[in-house]
Amino acid sequence: GAVVSQHPSRVICKSGTSVKIECRSLDFQATTMFWYRQFPKQSLMLMATSNEGSKATYEQGVEKDKFLINHASLTLSTLTVTSAHPEDSSFYICSASVTGTAKLFFGSGTQLSVL
């Protein structure tokens, strides 16, 4: 199956700093990638849809200026959490679809802890 690589797997940062998370499709091109957030013991919540070469579409309640998404190529999307605060601590997961199918493949997730 298709492989989605997400990096880093875990990051700890100080409050007020910015953190970048990378999501790569290793063996396929992904026109669309998705970013999710998951708090402990809760389900995944879609944050935004990232389309290659265009602006991301954010779900209601997600601050686009805080969660910057860049999808500059068909194999790479990045999520930057700007001026992170402790309430941003969460498990962030990216996913991508293979063109021509409706299946989504997920990265292994990034655990962000903001001190």
Return residues touching another protein (CB under 8 A): 1, 4, 6, 31-32, 34, 36, 43-46, 49, 91, 93-109, 111
Measured CA to CA, the distance from residue 30 to residue 52 in angstroms comes to: 8
Smallest distance, Å, CB 65 to another protein?
21
Nearer to another protein, 14 or 41 (CB): 41
Smallest distance, Å, CB 66 to another protein?
19
Smallest distance, Å, CB 103 to another protein?
5
Strand partners, 91: 38, 111
Residues contacting residue 73 through CB under 8 Å, at least 6 positions apart: 52
CA 67-42-5 angle, to 5 degrees, is 55
